[in-house]
Chains A and B, each alone.
Chain A
Amino acid sequence: MTQLLDVCELKKHFSARGKTAHAVDGVSLTLNEKEVLGIVGESGSGKSTLARTIIGLLDKTAGTVSWRGELLPQRYRRSDFRHYAAIMQMIFQDPQGSLDPRMTAGEIVAEGARLLKRYPANQLPAQVDKYLTLVGLGAHSADRYPHEFSGGQRQRLGIARALMMQPQLLICDEPVAALDVSVQAQIVNLLADLQRDMGLSMLFIGHDLSIVRYLSDRIIVMYLGVVVEEGPSEQVFKQPLHPYTQMLLAASPEPDPVFERQRPRLLLQGEVPSPLNIPPGCRFASRCPEVTPACKRREPGLILQQPRRKVRCLLFA
């Protein structure tokens, strides 16, 4: 397995009214070729900021991102975007907001590839048709405008636009969160098929654990800007180690009334603390059911617990 992406101690801080928000506060991760890494966390965990910093939409505060062993610039310049847009592409949660309403579907899909000369000019229309067909929209939709598509179709359009660049890494930031269940399943299956057929590597971000599970080989769980647990997806779901992962799984409702009646009620108290005011010690201590006095004094590191599994918790130190 070739390692493609290596993120090391990445930090992204924002300043607001004289305070600093530690949105991403030292995240390390690796991604192998053809691997899907799921990133799970609730709002404010820093998962979207992490994705945007990796792809260069946001400047890094500290830490490094390497692609195939080559260090990416700390701050992207215009020429860097041209270079890396061909390698990494992103699809967004809100397909409506990420499509220009005045451009036709064909223009939207072609734009990036045209600017970066990914194809000879005379082949561009044929390629647009090919990718529109690939995502299930059909070549005839090239002349339509975004408002003529449904939410699911717009998300397909976003996927076609990203794939047209022939990226090696696709970053999906909650791509199905805004879609209806029946359409959500279509998009999840489409992404799974494309990933397999094209050998894509993927970072798949989601707040819905059960969706992330269908696509990911490995999973990292984020809380308040840091990774609290990492491991092969099957194992993390079967046997979550970190108390937060356990609570998150317990909170997620399962479409089975008999199971729902029998399952123990584990309720996480309170809410995520503000990233402007990160508590000392373990970041989860204020809500953790298994908190000890030591948790509030010392921040645990992310340590290897089992082969391929890491957890950030003093219970395992």
Chain B
Amino acid sequence: MLKPMTSNRTALLTIEKLSVQVTSRAGCQRVIRDVNLTLQHGRTLALVGESGCGKSMTMRSVMGLLPRAASVVAGRAIFGDMDLLQLKPRALNRVRGKRIAMIFQEPMSALNPTLRIGTQITEVLRLQQELSKRNALRRAIELLDSVGIPEPAYRCRQYPFELSGGMLQRAMIAMALAGEPELLIADEPTTALDTTVQAQILDLLKHIQRQRGMGIVLVTHDLGVVARMADQVAVMYAGEIVEQASVDRLFAQPLHPYTQGLLAATPRLSAASSDRLEAIPGTPPDLRVRQTGCSFASRCTHCMQICRQQSAPPLAAAAGHDLSCWRYHAANPGAQLVLEARR
């Protein structure tokens, strides 16, 4: 069981009250509001949500990879004894790619198409570990071998277009492992892959984690992948974490109506053929339009008057199980379950 947020001295990564805004012609909008996340050493935290909810942007802001129009307006991201959000570019570069690595959804566009795979991996190794050309190549071959790429020496001489999507993602993972990171941020790493290849990559990530005790933040929209991989889950909707719990608790006792809706909408192999999926009506809100109240209110089947007026207060269902919802607040006379306010 993970420790609650207050005693997280041993946490690998702690994000506190992170807010990000995007400036456009239409003005400034908060696209991420007051995000709190904690990842323990050697564990996997899944950040789950639908497209546009801000899950990728949350992790990109930690890595200092925000697009130019976006900027962090508040919050801290504590990694070891540093606040990643306060680091100067040079200091950040010493951490990034070495102690923290990131892999992306589309390995094809994350790799340089004009350079051989080996060149791209040795470039990282020579920069970070100041290895000689020959030693870097030897290490690159070892790394490709460790992520299950057959004939690694031959693959080193190939260009990205000569490798399949699954092989490229393995090569990306090899590159990420080059600096022996303590933290791996995996942003939808298997979304573009076929089911059987996805299973291979997920298995590989788990294997590497066991071997190296690395922490993983897995950004995904797929609750099946979450169930297979995660220890802890944070559900994000319209720029906010609406519910956060251990994986078993979140799937067994989801409390936020959005989490419940997402689970009911997810297809299951175990379903009977007569079953229907329960869709969530409507579409996620446009973050460019300023909202008052709970951002899920317009799609929520339990929406009350207060939900449209004030944003929901953070509540604690149990140690490590937090959510933001008026439904369980003591002020709701119809509440079947009243939760404590979170400290």
Which residues of A are at the interface with B, using a C-beta cutoff of 8 A? 42-43, 150, 152-153, 180-186, 188-189, 192, 207-211, 213-214, 233-234, 237, 247-260, 265, 267-269, 271-272
| Interface pair A150/B228, CB less than 8 Å apart | no
**B173 nearest CB across to chain A (Å):** 16
**B225 nearest CB across to chain A (Å):** 5
A268's nearest neighbour on chain B, judged by CB, is B196
| Interface pair A255/B221, CB less than 8 Å apart | no
Q: Which residues 236-283 of B have a CB within 8 angstroms of A?
A: 247-248, 251, 261-271, 273, 275-281, 283
Chain A CB count within 10 A is highest, among B262, B277, B283, for: B277
5 A-B contacts (beta carbon < 8 Å): A180-B221, A182-B280, A185-B279, A188-B267, A214-B276
Q: A247-B196, A251-B198 are in contact. List 14 more A-B contacts (CB 8 A).
A: A181-B50, A181-B223, A181-B262, A181-B265, A185-B264, A185-B267, A185-B279, A185-B280, A251-B199, A253-B198, A253-B202, A255-B226, A267-B200, A271-B197
CA distance A255 to B264 in the complex (A): 10
| Interface pair A255/B263, CB less than 8 Å apart | yes
| Interface pair A255/B227, CB less than 8 Å apart | yes
Q: Which residues 265-315 of B have a CB within 8 angstroms of A?
A: 265-271, 273, 275-281, 283-284
CA distance A258 to B253 in the complex (A): 13
Contact A237 to B200, CB < 8 A, known contacts A180-B51, A182-B261: no
Contact A185 to B271, CB < 8 A, known contacts A258-B248, A268-B196: no
| Interface pair A42/B195, CB less than 8 Å apart | yes
Q: Does B222 contact A (CB under 8 A)?
A: yes
CA distance A253 to B267 in the complex (A): 10
| Interface pair B200/A268, CB less than 8 Å apart | yes
| Interface pair B283/A255, CB less than 8 Å apart | no
| Interface pair A260/B228, CB less than 8 Å apart | yes
Which residues of B are at the interface with A, using a C-beta cutoff of 8 A? 50-51, 164, 166-167, 194-200, 202-203, 221-228, 230, 247-248, 251, 261-271, 273, 275-281, 283-284
Contact A189 to B268, CB < 8 A, known contacts A254-B227, A260-B228, A265-B203: no
**A114 nearest CB across to chain B (Å):** 30
CB-CB under 8 A from A180, the residues of chain B are: 50-51, 221, 284
Contact A257 to B251, CB < 8 A, known contacts A188-B277, A207-B194, A271-B197: yes
| Interface pair A271/B195, CB less than 8 Å apart | no
| Interface pair A254/B270, CB less than 8 Å apart | yes
Which among B50, B222, B273, B275 is the interface contact of A253 at CB below 8 angstroms? B222
**B89 nearest CB across to chain A (Å):** 35
**A106 nearest CB across to chain B (Å):** 21
CB-CB under 8 A from B228, the residues of chain A are: 253, 257, 260
Contact A267 to B203, CB < 8 A, known contacts A207-B194, A248-B195, A254-B227: yes
| Interface pair B50/A207, CB less than 8 Å apart | no
CA distance A256 to B248 in the complex (A): 8
Contact A252 to B269, CB < 8 A, known contacts A257-B227, A268-B200: yes
CB-CB under 8 A from B167, the residues of chain A are: 271
Chain A CB count within 10 A is highest, among B196, B251, B275, for: B196
A253's nearest neighbour on chain B, judged by CB, is B224
**A105 nearest CB across to chain B (Å):** 16
Which among B200, B226, B262 is the interface contact of A182 at CB below 8 angstroms? B262
B223's nearest neighbour on chain A, judged by CB, is A255
CA distance A152 to B270 in the complex (A): 26
CA distance A198 to B225 in the complex (A): 36
CA distance A253 to B203 in the complex (A): 12
| Interface pair B271/A210, CB less than 8 Å apart | yes
CB-CB under 8 A from A247, the residues of chain B are: 196
Which among A183, A188, A210, A251 is the interface contact of B268 at CB below 8 angstroms? A210
Which among A43, A153, A237, A268 is the interface contact of B269 at CB below 8 angstroms? A237
**A194 nearest CB across to chain B (Å):** 14
CB-CB under 8 A from A150, the residues of chain B are: 283
| Interface pair A183/B283, CB less than 8 Å apart | yes
CA distance A271 to B164 in the complex (A): 8
Closest 4 CB pairs of A and B: A253-B224, A251-B199, A210-B267, A185-B279
| Interface pair B226/A42, CB less than 8 Å apart | no
CB-CB under 8 A from A233, the residues of chain B are: 273
A153's nearest neighbour on chain B, judged by CB, is B283
| Interface pair A210/B269, CB less than 8 Å apart | yes
CA distance A252 to B229 in the complex (A): 13
